[in-house]
Structure formats: structure tokens, C-alpha cells
Amino acid sequence: MRILGIETSCDETAISVIETSGPPAKPRIKILSNIVSSQVKLHAKFGGVVPHLAKREHQRNLVPVLLRALKEADLSQRAKSKEKREMRGSYDSGSLIIDSILEREPELLKRFKKHIVPLKPPKIDAIAATVGPGLAPALWVGVNFARALSFLWSKPVIPVNHLEGHIYANLLSAKWEIANGQSSILNFSFPALCLIVSGGHTELVLMRGYGKYRIIGETLDDAAGEAFDKAAKMMRLGFPGGPAIAAMAAEAIKKKKEKRKDDEKNEVALPRPMLKSKNYDFSFSGLKTAVLYLLRARPELLKSRRGKAAVAKEFQDAVVDVLVAKTIRAARQYRVKTVMIGGGVSANQLLREKLKKAIRKNAPHASCLMPHTSLTGDNALMIALAGYFNRNKKSARNNLRADANLRLDSTRKL
């Protein structure tokens, strides 16, 4: 089966084509293409993702990204003149429909007519598209693009929950890059526990089978990634904050080895919110406020690199301590057989290392999967893969809608 995945939930425009073969439950995956066009530089100027700019960029990027993804997958053929007439004919007869599908994305429609309509329909079996959660204006561009392609090429669309994509990214063997884009689905057992940590979400998800999700805890306010971004802003480290804080914290770790007399003046302590609470919920907005008060009380901390590094390290330690402790407690209580992580914050090396160590020590009944660091951020490969596991949930084109607040425990109703 060949699946084309489309991802536009936030600030990455991404398209990927995968080919699956072998046993349905444990298929071999061939990654024919995996293109990600990031808008991060644009949004960095504003200190965060600006939804209407994300929508505009997706409109500009989707067609070139699709053309690249098809070309790399060796699936792009311009129609010969006779076929072209036929394609044109089929577009003309359906043009009113396609025009109305893309009426709110006029820039995309223009490019669609110019570059996509003349193509021969590629040999794919389905289109998997992220329908939520995410930024509504950004999601709609991808959803409408998928609907237009589905109409033009007569292919079904599989609606995909973005967070489910982050979960499935754990199942690809890290070796896929080396082996020419080939991967098999890694062995793992249910029940599985997945810690999802992204810019918009922080949740602990219990998975009892494919598509069977229960959210056992989630953040009551800011997501972990959001907390990294806001703390980094206060420390004037730029956007996105996660990698910037991680890099600063690494300096503190390095510098700790060369002890200095004045180190004491950079000693800082931040709270570990809800570490001891009995449930699996999180709260990071208090931690962000604690950073604000700390920097107000001791502005000199921001004047030296050592001071900044000390705050970054303590902040990262605080977030990671809470995430790891709650994940381990849940892994033990539910006697899970697998622990996974997903979302942008799962790129964080400290989180990865501490979680691995804690599982070995305190939850040895569970094995640990983690996505390859090239797949922790948003990408369409994980969407195509989630599409494969949801291949029986094809949606009627007209029912396909973006849902900014889509929850994992409602995935079955898609």
C-alpha cells in the first residue's frame, strides 16, 4: 500500500510517501520521500508561531513540497498531451468543486491549477492528512488540500490525529536512514504508555491496543514545550525555546566541572510543580512564573553567560524531573510493557537519558522506545504511518474537517 501523508498543524509544511508491504500488523515500511519545509525562521521574529502567517506559508509551500515529495518518490509524471487533455477535462468538469474546496486558500488554488492539475495521478492508494489538534487556520489548509487532491485523483482520505502520529514515530527503527529508507515496525507490547510533550500538549496516554487510547493525565495549563518557549523568551534566548534552553543548560553542565569561587552567586532553585500530587496531571505555568520572579529579584543572572546557563539548567532539570517521575509512576501503576515518548520536547537529550535510566531502575517490566531524533519534530512520515494503521477509517471527502481541539480519546470517532 502506498500512502501520501500531509502535515500542516503548526509551522512545518510536510509531505511524505511511504510504501508498506508484508504482514499487516508488522509491515515493512519503505520511506519513498519525507519532505519538511519549516517556517521556524519566519515565526522566530515574532517570538512564537503566528497562525495567519502559518496559513499563508502553508498555502505557498504545499504545492512545491508535494512536487518534491512525488519526485523523490519517483511518482511524478507530467501527463502526455493526450492524457493532459483528459486530465484537464476531468478537472474542468470538477473545477467548480475544487474551486469551492479551495475558495479560502486562493493562493494555493492558483498553484494547484498550474502545477498539480497537469500531473498524471500518482500511483498511491490513499492520502493521510492531519485533521487536528493544532492551529485551526494551519490545519484547514492541509485538510482542504487533501480534499482537493482526493477529488482530482479519486483517492480516499484517511483523517489522522497529529498526536497519534507522534506516537507512531516511536515504531520506526532508528536504522531506517542507513538502510535506504527501509524500516520494519519495531516489536512492542501493550499496554503501552506514551508521554506526549509538544508545544501545545503534555499528556500521558495509556494505549491498550491500536487506536485504543486513554488520557490518564495532562497539563492543566501550559504544555512543557510552551513552558520552554516562554522561559526562553524571558531569558532572551530566542524561539523556539526548547533547543535554546537545552544548549544553554549544556554549558552549565560543562562549566560545573571547572569550579569557580563565584559559582555560589549563580546558584538557583526552581519548584517541581505537582511532582508529589497523586494524579498524573501536570502544571507548568507556575514554573514559568517562578522564573519570572527569579529574574526580577536577581537581574544580574542574565548579565553573565554562567548565570543564564545556571537558570537554563535548573529550569530544564525541573521540567524533566516532573515528566520522568510521573511517567515512571504511571508505568508502574498500570504495569505497562512499553514506554514511549513523542512530540517536539522528546528531542531533549536530558529527558531521553533520564527516562531511559529511570525505566531500567524503577520500571524494568517495561521496554523503552523513543523516536529517532530526526522524527521528534513535526513531519508527515509519522502521519503517513498513522494513516496506515487507520487505513480502514477512510473518510468521505465532504465530511473531512479540521478540529483544532481533537483529542486522542476521540480518535475512534473520526
| Residues at the contact surface with ligand KG4, assessed by CB under 6 A | 10, 198-200, 225-226, 228-229, 240-243, 246, 343-345, 347-348, 377-378
Report CA torsion sign: 141, 399, 135, 171. Answer: negative
* DSSP calls for 22-73: S-TTS-EEEEEEEEEEE-HHHHHTTTS--HHHHHHHHHHHHHHHHHHHHHHT
Peptide bond into 191 cis (omega under 30): yes
Q: Binding of Zn ion at residue 226 (CB under 5 A)?
A: no
Q: How far apart are the first and last CA of the chain?
A: 21
| Chosen from ligand KG4, Zn ion, none, partner binding at 145 (C-beta under 5 to 8 Å by type) | none
Query: β-pairing, 367-368 with 338-342?
Result: parallel
| Chosen from Zn ion, ligand KG4, none, partner binding at 169 (C-beta under 5 to 8 Å by type) | none
CA distance 127 to 125: 7
| Chosen from Zn ion, ligand KG4, none, partner binding at 225 (C-beta under 5 to 8 Å by type) | ligand KG4
Look up residue 256 and give its DSSP letter: H
Q: How many CB atoms lie within 10 A of CB 222?
A: 21
| Chosen from ligand KG4, Zn ion, none, partner binding at 246 (C-beta under 5 to 8 Å by type) | ligand KG4
Nearer to Zn ion, 246 or 270 (CB): 246
Nearer to ligand KG4, 47 or 191 (CB): 47
Find the binder of Zn ion among 13, 183, 198, 390 (CB under 5 A). 198
| Chosen from Zn ion, ligand KG4, none, partner binding at 371 (C-beta under 5 to 8 Å by type) | none
Cβ at position 343, least distance to ligand KG4 in Å: 4
Nearer to ligand KG4, 27 or 200 (CB): 200
Cβ at position 383, least distance to ligand KG4 in Å: 12
CA distance 334 to 207: 11
Nearer to ligand KG4, 105 or 226 (CB): 226
Are 32 and 181 contacting, i.e. CB atoms less than 8 angstroms apart?
Answer: yes
Q: What is the contact surface with Zn ion in residues (CB under 5 A)?
A: 198, 378
